[in-house]
Amino acid sequence: MIDKWLKQDIEEIYKSHSIAVFIDESKEASFLIDELKSMATIYETYGEIEELKAKYEIEKAASESTKFIIYTNTPKNDLKYIREYCETNGCIEVRYLDHYIKKKVNQHLNLNINIPKEELISAAKVSVGQNQTYWMDLSHKGASEIFDLEKELLPFLDNPTSYLKKYDDSTQEIFFKKVNELIGQSYVKKPAKTLAKEVVEKMLNGLLHNSTNAVLFNVYKNWLDSLSYKASFQAYLEKYKIAAKSNVFEVHPSHPFRVIDEEWLKEIGKNINDKQFIQNVLPKINQRNADKAAKSLGISFWANVKELIEFDEKNINQISSFDECIGFYIKNFSKVDGAIRKLYSEFLTEPIIIEPLQTYYKNLSVVFLDKWFKYINNYQPNQLGKIQEIIDSNSTKTAIVVGDGVSWEFAQDIISNIHNKDYRLTEGHLLAGLPSETEHNMSQLYVNTGEVLSTKKERENYLAKSNNDKDISFVDLENVNEITDKAHYLICSYKEPDKLGETYQQKALKYFNHVAEVFASKIQQLLKNGYKTVYLLTDHGFTLTGILENSDKIEVGFSGTINKSERYIRSVNKQSINEELLIEKELKYEHFDYCYFAKRLGPFKTPGVYGFSHGGISPQETIIPYLKWTNTSENNELLSIKITNKSDLIDVTGNLFTLKLSGHADSKGLFTNERKIILLFFANNQKFNESDIITVNNDQELKKEYQFGSHSEIEIKVLDANTKEQLDKVTVKQSSARDLGGLL
C-alpha cells in the first residue's frame, strides 16, 4: 500500500510539472524505486556528477508527454544541479521513513500505528501491492500481522531460498522471527531451508498427533490444492519419519500418511467381524472418506471399504424369486463387487490388507449365491439377436458400442464418466447366453439364428448381409473421432476389458479406469457427431478370484470326454454330480451335449493362470448392461448455424474456395443473437487444421476463404465452440479441370 501512496504524491506533482524529485535522506525507501518504473523515467543520483548528468539527460529529452523521477539521498539544501527542480516543480522528502509511513497511514486511513521502527519499515515493504486491509489488520492486531503467514508460508516452504530474495536482510530476519513464534521456538539464525524443514515437521507432527495449528493447517490444505506447489509437499513428505503410535486412529482425518491408512485397514481386517468395533471406527472412516486432502493425495479407497463393510446381508433374506435376485444384484450387490474390484487394484500385492477384506466379501457372496442358485431354473438368456433388434427399432442415426467383458458393475464406472445433462441414460440389463464366453456370446449378439461364428469378421459379415438394404458400417471404438459420422448405423467394437483381463489377469485392474474413460469419451463423441442414440452392449461379465488358495479351486471327477475351462466344463456324457456344488445344463456345442457350472465364484482346477475369468453362470458373469444414451438437445434456444453454399463446393475450380456460414433463429431470445463456432478440416480421414473461434450473428451470412493446399478433397465440420457438438458439415472437392483465370 505504501507504493500507492507514494505514487499519489508524485501524481500531484505531475498535474502541473513533468519532473518530480524523490529525496530519501533515510536511505531506507530505495525498495520503492522498482514500483515507480512504470510511471516515469528514473534517474538515481548520489553525487554532483550524477546530478549534472541527470539534468543534462532530462533537458535533452524533455517534452510535455515525458515524465521523470529523480531519486537521491542528498538533503535538499545540499543539492547542486537538481535543486531548482525541487523549488520550481516540487519534491517529496523522506527524512525518516517510519515517520513517513505513520503519516500516510494516518492521513489515508485515520489509523495510528505503534510498532518498532524496524518492524514498521518491514511492514511497509510487505505492504507493496496490497490494499488498505493490510494496514487495518496491522493496526488492530499489531506486529504479528506484518506477514500474512497463511499466504507467505506456502511459497516460502516451496522454495525457501528463492522466495526470500524479495526481502532485504532486516525484513528476512523479522519474517524468520514470526515463523519461529508460529512454531513455538526461539529465534536462532539458521539457513532458510532448515527453518522450512522445521515448519513442515511441526505441521506434519500436528496432523499425526491430531494437534494441528490453525495457520499451519490452512497452509497444508492450500498446499495440497496448489498445482504449482504440490510437488514440493511430496518431497517433504517422503523425508518425514512417522513416529510409532499406540492408537493409529488418533490422527487428524486430513493427514497425508498413506501408511496410517494402511494401518487402519489392517486393524479393520483383524476386527472385521466385530460389529461393535466396526461401529466405533465407522465415524473415522466417514471423515476420512469425505476429506478433500485425502482425495487430493490419491487416497480414495475408503468409499470402497465403506461399501463393503456397510453392506447388510440380512436384506438378502427378503429375496423370494429369480427376478428379485436380479433386481437385488443390480441395485445392491453389484456395488459390493465394484468395491472389491477396486480394492484388489489397490492392495492385491499386500495380502495382510486384502485377505481379510476378500474373505469378508466371499462370505457375503456365498449368502447371495445361495439365493441365486435357489431360483436358477428360471434363468432365461435374452441377448440373442440384440444388435439386429436395435437396428430394426431405430430409424434415426444410431451407434452401437459392443464391449467385451463389460460387467454390470464396471458399466457403472462408464456411466459416472458421462456428465452431459443433454444425454439421457436409459438403463437396462440382459442375461448372457451360456456358457458366458466371448465366441459364443458375441455370436449371440450379432447372429439372431444362434449360430456360433468364431471370428469378428464373420459376425460383422453376417450382420451386413442381413441388412444389405441399410447403411451399416463397422469401426473399432478407439478409432472413433470427430469425422466418424457417415454411417446411419454404426457398430463400434472394443476388445476391452476382456483382452486386458485375459492377458494380464488381475494385474490389468490398474488399467480399468482408463478403459472406462475411453468408453465414456467415445460414446460422448458419437453423440456430438450427430448420432441420436448410442447403445452399449457386451457379451458377458467377469469374476475375480483375488488371492487364490488351493482350497478355493474346484476339483471334479468327471468321466468320458470333457473340455474343462476355468468357469465351466463341457461333457459328451451326462455326469453324476454333487448338486450342492454344481449345476447341469443341456447345451449342445460341437460334439458336447452337457455343460456344468460351479455354484460358487471359485474356479475349476485347470492349468494356467487364474484371476480374471468368465464362462460361468454367476450374476457377475451373466447380468450384463444394456444401456442407451439419447441426445435430447434440440438447441431450440441456440442460434442455428448452416453452410449455405454446399452446392458451390462440389466442384471448385482453382485453389481457393469460399465457405458461407449463416446464422438463423426461429425466435428471438438471449441465446439466439449469436453463436461461437469452430471449423475442423479433414483430409484422408485425418484432421489437419482447426480454425480460431468464429462468432456468427443472427441473420448474418459470414464468408470465410480458404485454400486447398496439398489436398484436393477436404471435409469441413462446423462445431459449437463450447460443447463441440456438430452443427453442419460439407465436403469440398477441387475440380480436375484447369483454371483458365477468366479467359473464357
Residues 429 and 537 in one domain: yes
CA-wise closest residue to 409 among 383, 427, 389: 427
CB atoms closer than 10 angstroms to residue 744? 4
Quote the CA–CA distance of 252 and 287 in Å, as a whole number. Answer: 10
Residues 363 and 294 in one domain: yes
Measured from the Cβ of residue 634, the count of other Cβ atoms closer than 10 Å reads 8
Does 522 share its domain with 410?
yes
Please say which residue of 188, 204, 239 terminates a domain.
239
What is the crossing angle of helices 149-158 and 230-239, to 10°?
70
Comparing 708 with 32, the larger pLDDT belongs to 708
* pLDDT of the residue at 474: 98
Give the pLDDT band of residue 744 (cuts 50, 70, 90): very low
Look-up: residue for cell 486491509?
133
pLDDT at 131: 67
pLDDT for 743: 46
Query: Does residue 648 lie within any of the structural domains?
Result: yes
Listed in order, strand segments (DSSP E) in 502-553 are 533-538, 543-544
CA dihedral 190, 193, 197, 203 (to 10 degrees): 100
Q: Residue 739 pLDDT > 80, yes or no?
A: no
Q: Residue 430 is placed in which grid cell?
A: 440382459
Residue type, 47: G
The CATH number given to whatever domain includes residue 726 is 2.60.40
CA–CA distance, 15 with 25 (Å, rounded to integer): 25
Per the rule left: phi > 0, alpha: psi between -120 and 50, beta: everything else, 608 is: left
Cell output for 510: 490398474
- pLDDT for 578 beyond 50: yes
Within a domain: residue 363? Answer: yes
Residue 101 is predicted with a pLDDT of 74
% of the chain exceeding 70 in pLDDT: 94
Report whether pLDDT(106) > 80.
no
What is the span of the domain harbouring residue 278?
Answer: 262-378
Sort strands 623-631 and 533-538 into parallel, antiparallel or unpaired.
antiparallel
Residues 495 and 627 both lie in one domain: yes
Q: How far is it, in rounded angstroms, from Cα 149 to Cα 133?
A: 15
Domain for residue 496, yes or no? yes
Q: What is the pLDDT of residue 69?
A: 82
The answer to whether residue 470 sits within a structural domain is yes
Is 180 part of any domain?
yes
Residue 213: band (very low, low, confident or very high) from pLDDT cuts 50, 70, 90: very high
Q: Give the pLDDT of residue 541.
A: 97
Over residues 651-664, mean pLDDT: 93
Place of cell 468321466: 559
Query: Is residue 244 included in any domain, yes or no?
Result: no
Phi and psi at residue 424, to the nearest 5°: -85, 130
Q: Give the integer Cα–Cα distance in Å for 52 and 721.
A: 61
Interval 242-251 mean pLDDT: 89
> What pLDDT, on the 0 to 100 scale, is given for residue 664?
85
Domain-embedded: residue 320: yes
CA-wise closest residue to 365 among 543, 509, 567: 543
Over residues 218-233, the mean pLDDT reads 94
Q: Are 733 and 713 in contact (CB under 8 A)?
A: yes
What's the start-to-end Cα distance of the chain, in Å? 75
Query: Whose CA is closest to 508, among 500, 499, 516?
Result: 500
Mean pLDDT across the chain: 90
Give the whole-angstrom CA distance, residue 157 versus residue 166.
15
Q: What is the pLDDT of residue 59?
A: 82
Q: Do 138 and 186 fall into the same domain?
A: yes
pTM strictly above 0.75: yes
pLDDT band at 362; cut points 50, 70, 90: very high
Distance between CA atoms of residues 538 and 447, nearest Å: 14
Could you tell me which of 94, 130, 92, 127 has the C-alpha nearest to residue 113? 127
Residue 281 has pLDDT above 80, yes or no: yes
pLDDT (0 to 100) of residue 138:
66
In terms of DSSP bridges, do strands 68-72 and 41-45 run parallel, antiparallel, or are they unpaired? parallel
Report, as an integer, the average pLDDT of 703-732.
93
d(C-alpha 527, C-alpha 397), whole Å: 10
Is pLDDT larger for residue 104 or for residue 144? 104
DSSP state of 159: S
pLDDT given for residue 26 in this prediction = 81
Q: Average pLDDT for residues 502-522, to the nearest whole number?
A: 94
Residues 555 and 698 in one domain: no
Name residue, grid cell 476420512: 288
pLDDT digits (tens, 9 = 90+) for 672-699: 688 999 999 999 989 999 999 999 998 8
Closest Cα partner for 368 from 317, 412, 321, 323? 317
pLDDT over threshold 50, residue 643: yes
Position 139 scores a pLDDT of 61
Question: How many domains are there within the chain?
Answer: 6
Helix residue spans in 209-239 (DSSP H): 214-225, 230-239
Cβ contact 531:397 at 8 Å:
yes
Distance CA 43, CA 67 (A): 11
Closest CA to 172 of 223, 114, 126: 126
625 lies in the same domain as 554: no
Q: Are residues 604 and 618 in the same domain?
A: no
281 in the same domain as 225: no
386 in helix, strand or coil? helix
Evaluate whether 389 touches 524 at the Cβ level (below 8 Å). Answer: no
Q: Which helix (H) or strand (E) holds 497?
A: strand 489-497
Q: Which of 153, 23, 161 is nearest to 93 (CA)?
A: 23
CB distance 562 to 570 below 8 Å: yes
The phi, psi pair for 272, rounded to 5°, reads -65, -25
Average pLDDT score over residue span 396-410: 97
Question: How confident is the model at residue 444, as a pLDDT?
Answer: 97
- Which helix (DSSP H) or strand (DSSP E) does residue 663 occupy? strand 656-664
CATH number at residue 471: 3.40.720.10
Order of strands across the sheet with 640-643? Answer: 640-643, 656-664, 700-707
Lowest mean pLDDT among 226-230, 255-259, 320-324: 226-230
Domain boundary among 353, 378, 403: 378
Q: Is 413 in the same domain as 334?
A: no
* The pLDDT of residue 424 is above 60: yes
pLDDT at residue 310 greater than cutoff 60: yes
pLDDT for the residue 607? 87
Whether residue 394 is found in the same domain as residue 368:
no
What's the confidence (pLDDT) of residue 402? Answer: 98
Q: Compute the CA torsion angle 74, 76, 77, 82 (nearest 10 deg).
A: 90
Select from 378, 413, 439 the last residue of a domain. 378
Look at residue 454 in the predicted model and tell me its pLDDT: 93
Q: Where is average pLDDT lowest: 29-38, 279-288, 518-527?
A: 29-38
Distance, in Å, from the CA atom of 647 to the CA atom of 541, rounded to the nearest integer, reads 49
What is the chain's length? 744
Q: Does some domain include residue 689?
A: yes
Residue 742 pLDDT exceeds 50: no
Q: Are residues 211 and 290 in the same domain?
A: no
Query: Which residues, in sequence order, are bridge partners of residue 694?
Result: 677
**Between 74 and 367, whose confidence is greater?**
367
* pLDDT computed for residue 32 by the predictor: 76
Backbone angles phi, psi at 544, to 5 degrees: -120, 135
114 vs 148, residue with greater confidence: 148
